[in-house]
Amino acid sequence: MDTTQKLIERREHLLGRAYRLFYDEPVHIVRGEGVWLFDADGRKYLDVYNNVPHVGHCHPRVVEAIQQQARTLNTHTRYLHETILDYAEELTARFPAKLENVMFACTGTEANELALRLARATTGNDGMIVTDHAYHGTSWAISQITTCYTPPDKRASNIVTVPAPDMYRGRYAGDPEAANKYAEHVRQAIEKLASNGHCPAAFIVDTVFANEGLPTVPDGYLKKAADIIHQAGGLLVADEVQPGFGRLGRYFWGFERHGVIPDIVTLGKPMANGYPVSAVVTSRHITDAFSRQAHYFNTFAGTPVGCAAALAVLEVIEEQDLAVKSANTGDYLIEELQNLATNHDMIGDVRGSGLFISIELVRNRDDLEPAVEETARAVDLLRERGVLIHSTGVFDNVLKIRPPLVFDRTHADLLLQELSDVLGEISCPGPRNG
Amino acid sequence: MDTTQKLIERREHLLGRAYRLFYDEPVHIVRGEGVWLFDADGRKYLDVYNNVPHVGHCHPRVVEAIQQQARTLNTHTRYLHETILDYAEELTARFPAKLENVMFACTGTEANELALRLARATTGNDGMIVTDHAYHGTSWAISQITTCYTPPDKRASNIVTVPAPDMYRGRYAGDPEAANKYAEHVRQAIEKLASNGHCPAAFIVDTVFANEGLPTVPDGYLKKAADIIHQAGGLLVADEVQPGFGRLGRYFWGFERHGVIPDIVTLGKPMANGYPVSAVVTSRHITDAFSRQAHYFNTFAGTPVGCAAALAVLEVIEEQDLAVKSANTGDYLIEELQNLATNHDMIGDVRGSGLFISIELVRNRDDLEPAVEETARAVDLLRERGVLIHSTGVFDNVLKIRPPLVFDRTHADLLLQELSDVLGEISCPGPRNG
């Protein structure tokens, strides 16, 4: 493909070498609609990967909201405007009563930055506990808690990690005491912080542990961890950038699944279907503690256009009943994937909730050797067959399913068929090693 | 105004107390067009303050670009797309040849975060030199160099400041050796960094020193400072978030005015007329150094919609000749403001370039006592007369003029008339103290 090669060269020439593309043969997408993406040759791809276009690529309601507001007014939060308030009202109505204040930012990174400032201001502490192999963002401070990229020797002494719970291959897999044992690591982390001279400001956790591979978490773990961090004077920060807004089906937010109410919730990616909007939702005593130390302003955050887009997303989720649909399609897909596992030994584990599902591929089911190369090959083969999917997890052997929420059973069937064929192709003896 | 009061209460209830509004009697803006903002009662305000709607509030070309792209596709930089490349090509064409790579972020804060990462990766150092009373953003790392908010005792040992040059009230005002003397502070800052155990990664500077009050800078200062930082192995980072994109009239970028080429340039606010887009422009050897250490991805940055909006802004600047118009209107306004100063002793200094102009108000011209209360009162009285303007500077006694670039002579005349009346009212003996 001559055009593709030219675009790749132009990219490197103009953007430098730090940018990466998906796939050895990158896709040149020119149009999107619902769960479909179309390349420059008119080829269509089922989008099983992108969680930002939450209510579907180019949803007309969101596009219309952006257009109407963009041609009317776009200013900032130092003038009065109703839309930011209408949205904050709609958003907080979906949270437990104590999470009553919304503060806006533009990216998940910025929301997590703000959460850390709030936690520090409220507790007077600066210690941070975070899971291993977590992703929380790209700024300097947030890269310190993005433990999948920043190695231990590059982290400051106020950052301490705990293992992410994992009932499939984690250290307490199968242990009925796993929740207590994992929570005990939080207590040890607090002790380690103390020995480093820090008290805990917060334990921050992606409530589905997405970057850790969406592991199954023992019941009660997060509740116990929250109690421990609270007793030590710290806060629980729930990073809901990926799990939030109904993706999990029966749970509008990931923390609900754990039966716990966080002190601070951070939101991002799907919030405005791709318009850069993020936020922190928290309690009044926390915004009060912060406001005694600082004012807050972010030029592009909480603007009329951003809030109009975010409001349209909430309305579409409700009117199209997307959380319920996500639950139903997700249940169906998980069941069918488990059926698929009876024919494909490589499927070691299927887990998730709603339309956030992971498939862990293993070379055998005895020692759970991660099928790393096979996972990469499955991603490539599925792309060849017009299905866009990607991998994640500590070993990068987990296929990650998190499509726009308009993904329905017919799309699930298509994915199941292609995945079955691809796994068959990979496991067959053939020209490649393995 | 009952509605206003209700909105204020709703805001505090929903957003908490850390948000601030402009004016004791905040304005409730519902519509914008060109240089005009309209409140809920249909009252119209001349916008002399807002630099984000660079080519005018709700410019139809930008709105159309956003709408067209939003309904076609909005993805991310891991797929190939032409618009990011078309924009990067148009943007780098406006820079000296060595500034040939563009990396995208969403906010000015994020662009400065990225600039620091690039500077650290390239130099291997972590020392930062920054001016006193500077504003560079809101994240943890960037708040460390936002010296107007973070006091010296809250800054880490790798942050050292130098005085911002100021030929009106600065320590070397009137001194023909001022450029050398100010630059000498950069040398001293490098020594101080060394005594703290750090080598310099960068000297970062807003090239108009906007937050410092837009001071007149002695010729050659930045060139000398750049030489000194380069000799010490550091980079010059030009924060062009406020001065960039033709606002200065004869200079498309603020650094041009100083006859210097920075190593890294950061861009933000006006870049896409309010759509959250920011960027770093730099040299290949710098993006190469970074890419040897890390990949780069920012979910909402460099998206098709953001780049379409930014491209439309560049096209409008060119087609409507806005930089030249900014130069002409700015020259006229500066001349008329200087004429106004002959009738109003309170006007101590008028300075700036293009449509970035400041008026420093003083109680008298002998000891330059800052007219702080009078400046606040002028801002309020102008708002009552339908002119939105604000103050800045170390003493907050500087009126800041930075309207959308479609601000023309008729708008300038209106501002001049209202300002003249307001300054007359303030300086007259009346019921208030003074």
Residue of A nearest to B303 (CA): A274
Of B14, B82, B302, which is closest to A88 when you measure between CB atoms? Answer: B14
Domain B60-319 has CATH 3.40.50.740: no
Query: pTM to 2 decimals?
Result: 0.97
Mutate to test the interface with A, among B36, B76, B135, B138 (most CBs of A within 10 A): B138
Residue among A78, A85, A297 minimizing CB distance to B10: A85
pLDDT value of residue B429: 53
DSSP state of B257: G
Residue B430 pLDDT > 50: no
Q: How much is the mean pLDDT over chain B?
A: 96
Distance, first Cα to last Cα, chain A: 30
Sign of CA dihedral B113, A74, B411, B360: negative
Retrieve residue B43's tokens: 């009252």
**Where in chain B are all domains bearing CATH 3.40.640.10?**
60-319
Q: Tens digits of per-residue pLDDT, B14-63? A: 999 999 999 999 999 999 999 999 999 999 999 999 999 999 999 999 99
- pLDDT for residue B2 is more than 80: no
pLDDT of residue B279: 98
Q: Does B89 touch chain A (CB under 8 A)?
A: yes
Query: What is the Cα–Cα distance from B113 to B128, expressed in whole angstroms?
Result: 12
* Amino acid present at A152: P
pLDDT(B432) > 50: no
| B108 part of contact set with chain A, CB < 8 Å | yes
Instruction: Say what the ipTM of the complex is.
Output: 0.96
B430: exposed, middle or buried (Cβ count in 10 Å: 0-12, 13-18, 19+): exposed
pLDDT in tens, chain A (434 residues): 468 999 999 999 999 999 999 999 999 999 999 999 999 999 999 999 999 999 999 999 999 999 999 999 999 999 999 999 999 999 999 999 999 999 999 999 999 999 999 999 999 999 999 999 999 999 999 999 999 999 999 999 999 999 999 999 999 999 999 999 999 999 999 999 999 999 999 999 999 999 999 999 999 999 999 999 999 999 999 999 999 999 999 999 999 999 999 999 999 999 999 999 999 999 999 999 999 999 999 999 999 999 999 999 999 999 999 999 999 999 999 999 999 999 999 999 999 999 999 999 999 999 999 999 999 999 999 999 999 999 999 999 999 999 999 999 999 999 999 999 999 999 865 444 43
**Sequence ranges of chain A with CATH classification 3.90.1150.10:** 2-55+321-427
Q: Calculate what percentage of chain B has a pLDDT beyond 90.
A: 97
Instruction: Tell me if chain B has a CB within 8 Å of the CB of A109.
Output: yes
Buried b (16+ CB within 10 A) or exposed e, B349-359: bbbbbbbbbbb
What residues contact B287, with CB distance under 8 A and at least 6 apart?
A15, A16, A17, A18, B101, B103, B118
Cβ pair A17:B287 closer than 8 A:
yes
Per DSSP bridges, beta strands B101-105 and B36-39 are unpaired
Query: Considering the domain B2-55+321-427, what is its CATH architecture?
Result: Alpha-Beta Complex (3.90)
Confidence at residue A2, expressed as pLDDT on a 0 to 100 scale: 63
Query: Mind listing the pLDDT tens digit for each residue in B233-275?
Result: 999 999 999 999 999 999 999 999 999 999 999 999 999 999 9
Residues 284-343 of A with CB under 8 A from B: 284, 287-288, 290-291, 294-303, 305-306
CA distance B141 to chain A (A): 6
DSSP β-ladder status, A347-353 and A278-282: unpaired
The CA distance from A224 to B335, in Å, is: 69
Report the pLDDT value the prediction gives residue A395, as an integer from 0 to 100: 96
